[in-house]
Amino acid sequence: MADANAQSSAAPTASREATSAVRSARRIHDLIARKVPTAAPDDPICQVRSGMVGGAWDLVEVVAITGEDGRLAGVVDTRDLLAAADSAQAVGALMCPWPVVDIESTPERTALAAHRHNVPALPVVDSGGVFLGCLRAEILMDILWQEHAEDLHRFAGLQRETRGARRAFLLDSPLQRLRERAPWLLAGALGSMLATSLMASFEAALAVNVSIAFFIPAIVYLADAVGTQTEAIAVRGLTLEHRALGHVVVREAATGLLIGILLGLIALLGITFAFGSSELALAVALALVAASAFASVFGVTLPWLLDRAGFDPAFGAGPLATIVQDLASILLYLSMVQWLVL
C-alpha cells in the first residue's frame, strides 16, 4: 500500500515536471528521455526481456533496435515483446513500422507526428540516424496542450509568443495599453471615413434603386465572418505544419471561393424570388464570391505581414482586417451593381 501511495503521488509530480520542461524548451533536444531499452537486431527475445527487468528506465513502451554504430534500425513495441511465444527468436523479427523524428524538428511537429500515428513514444535520431532517445507520451501531450493554449490566447488578443507581450498583458498601465491599441483603432476610424466617402460616390445610383442598399450590411457581415473563421483555422495550421505562406494562401483562397459560391447561390435564388430582379441577385451573388475569396486570403496574410514588420498582430489584425475587408466588400458590391443593374 505504501508503494502504491508513493507511485500515485509521484505521478502528478512527474506531470508537473514535464509541463515545466515543455514551457521552457525550444528544441526537442531538451525534452528527450535518454534511458530507453535498446537491443541489437539478433538479440534473443528472452535476453531482451530479462535485460529490462530492474532497469531504471525513463520509459518502457518501446525497445529501440540499434546497430553496432548506434544507428536506429527499428522499433519494437513492448507489448509485442511480452506477447512473443518463441523466446529464442531474434528480437529484430518483432520490429514494426514506427515514426521517427530528427533532433532538429520542432516540438510542435514531433507532437503532431505522434498524434497522427497514434504512438505512445517517439524515437529521436541525429542527422546521421544515431538513436538519441525518445519523447514520452506526457511530454507529447503537454506540447500539444501548450500550443493549443497559446494559439487560443493569441487569437483572442491575450498573448503573443514573446515574454514582453505577456508582461504587457499583465503589467502595462491603461495609458500604455492606450498607446498600443489607439493607432490601430484610429486607422479603423480613417477607413470608416473612406467607406462613407465610397458610399457617397454611389449616392445617385442608390437614389434610383434604394433596394441596392438593402444588401450592403449582409455582404459586409458575411465577408467579415469568413475572414474571422480563416484567422482562427489558419493559426493552428501555420503553427503545427510550418508550411510556406504561399501554400496556405492558395488553399484558403480556394476555400473562400467555395464558401462564396455556396453563399452566392443561396443569395441568387433568394433575391430573385423575393425581389424579382435577377440582375440585382446576380450582383449580390458575384460580390459574395469575390468578397469571400478576398477575406480568406487577407485573413491569412495580414497577421503574418504585421508580425514580419515587427507589430503585434493581436492589436493590429482585428481593426485593420475589419476595415479593409469592409472597404473591399462595399467596393466589390457597388462595382457589380454598376456593371449589372444600372
In a domain, 162, yes or no: no
In a domain, 166, yes or no: no
**pTM higher than 0.75, yes or no?**
no
110: nearest Cα among 223, 13, 242:
242
Q: In the structure, what pLDDT confidence band is assigned to residue 177 with cuts at 50, 70 and 90?
A: confident
Boundary (domain end) residue, out of 155, 190, 221: 155
Q: Whole domain around residue 68: which residue ranges?
A: 2-155
Q: Tens digits of per-residue pLDDT, 62-107? A: 999 999 889 999 999 988 888 887 777 888 888 888 889 888 887 7
In a domain, 111, yes or no: yes
Query: d(Cα 179, Cα 205) in Å, to the nearest integer?
Result: 41
Q: Which residue has the higher pLDDT, 132 or 7?
A: 132
pLDDT of residue 339: 84
Rg of the chain on CA atoms, in Å: 29
- The burial of 193, by beta-carbon neighbours within 10 Å (0-12 exposed, 13-18 middle, 19 or more buried), is given as exposed
| Residue 37, pLDDT above cutoff 50 | yes
CATH code of 105's domain = 3.10.580.10
Query: d(Cα 196, Cα 281) in Å, to the nearest integer?
Result: 24
Q: How far is CA 199 from the centre of its chain?
A: 37
Q: Average pLDDT of the chain?
A: 78
Q: Which residue has the higher pLDDT, 20 or 48?
A: 48
In a domain, 104, yes or no: yes
Q: Tens digits of per-residue pLDDT, 279-333? A: 889 999 999 999 999 988 888 887 777 767 766 665 556 677 778 888 888 889 8
In a domain, 160, yes or no: no
In a domain, 167, yes or no: no
Indicate the number of domains in the chain.
2
In a domain, 271, yes or no: yes
Residues 54 and 87 in one domain: yes
Residues 247 and 99 in one domain: no
Q: What is residue 18's three-state secondary structure?
A: helix
Q: Which three cell numbers stand for residue 106?
A: 520542432
Q: Average pLDDT for residues 141-156, to the nearest whole number?
A: 69
Other C-beta atoms within 10 Å of 180: how many?
17
Q: Average pLDDT for residues 166-186, to the nearest whole number?
A: 68
Name the maximum alpha-carbon separation found in the chain. Answer: 92
Residues 150 and 183 in one domain: no
Residues 119 and 200 in one domain: no
pLDDT of residue 262: 95
pLDDT of residue 266: 94
| Residue 3, pLDDT above cutoff 60 | no
CATH code of 220's domain = 1.10.357.20
| Residue 215, pLDDT above cutoff 50 | yes
| Residue 13, pLDDT above cutoff 70 | no
Q: Average pLDDT for residues 38-62, to the nearest whole number?
A: 89
CB 318 within 8 A of CB 186: no
Give the DSSP H/E element, type plus range, for residue 260: helix 245-275
Quote the crossing angle between the two packed helices 313-340 and 216-241, to the nearest 10°: 140
| Residue 241, pLDDT above cutoff 90 | no
Boundary (domain end) residue, out of 103, 120, 155: 155
| Residue 206, pLDDT above cutoff 50 | yes
Residues 235 and 323 in one domain: yes
Q: What is residue 135's three-state secondary structure?
A: strand
